A and B are shown apart, each in its own frame.
Chain A
Amino acid sequence: ETGVTQSPTHLIKTRGQQVTLRCSSQSGHNTVSWYQQALGQGPQFIFQYYREEENGRGNFPPRFSGLQFPNYSSELNVNALELDDSALYLCASSSYLTGGLASGANVLTFGAGSRLTVL
Chain B
Amino acid sequence: KQEVTQIPAALSVPEGENLVLNCSFTDSAIYNLQWFRQDPGKGLTSLLLIQSSQREQTSGRLNASLDKSSGRSTLYIAASQPGDSATYLCAVVDGGTYKYIFGTGTRLKVLA
Report which A residues bind B (CB closer than 8 A): 4, 6, 33, 35, 40-45, 56, 58, 88, 90, 92, 100-102, 104-113, 115
The smallest beta-carbon distance between B72 and chain A, in angstroms, is: 17
> In the complex where A100-B98, A101-B98 touch, is A42 in contact with B46 (Cβ < 8 A)?
no
- Count of chain B residues with a beta carbon within 8 Å of a chain A beta carbon: 24
B interface residue numbers (CB < 8 A to A): 4, 31-32, 34, 36, 41-46, 49, 89, 91, 93, 97-105
Most chain-B Cβ atoms within 10 A of its Cβ — which of A45, A88, A102? Answer: A45
Complex: chain A residue closest to B9, CB-CB: A40
Q: Nearest chain-B residue to A108 (Cβ)?
A: B46
Residues of B contacting A58 in the complex (Cβ-Cβ under 8 angstroms): 99
- Tell me how far the C-beta of A86 lies from the nearest C-beta in chain B, rounded to whole angstroms: 14
Query: Given the complex, which residues of B lie within 8 Å of A111, measured CB to CB?
Result: 43
A6 contact set on B, CB distance < 8 A: 43
Q: How far, in angstroms, from A45 to B105 measured CA to CA in the complex?
A: 16
Once the chains bind, are A90 and B43 in contact (CB under 8 Å)? yes
Contact across chains for B99 and A42 when beta carbons are under 8 A apart = no
Most buried by B among A42, A43, A44, A111: A42
A104:B34 contact, CB within 8 angstroms? no
Complex contact A104–B44 (CB within 8 A): no
Query: Main secondary structure on chain A at its contact with chain B?
Result: mixed
Tell me the bound Cα distance from A28 to B24 in angstroms.
Answer: 33
Q: Which residue of B lies closest to A57 (CB)?
A: B99
The reply to whether B49 and A107 form a contact with Cβ atoms under 8 Å apart is yes
Distance of A100 Cα from B99 Cα, bound (Å): 11
Smallest distance from the beta carbon of B59 to chain A beta carbons, Å? 12
The interface residues of chain B lying within 8 Å CB-to-CB of A44 are 102
Q: Complex: how many Å from CA A60 to CA B100?
A: 15
Residues of B within 8 Å of A33, CB to CB, are 100
Question: Which residues of chain A have C-beta atoms less than 8 A from B46's C-beta?
Answer: 107-110
Report how far A33 CA is from B43 CA in the complex, Å. 13
On whether the beta carbons of A56 and B43 are closer than 8 Å, the reply is no
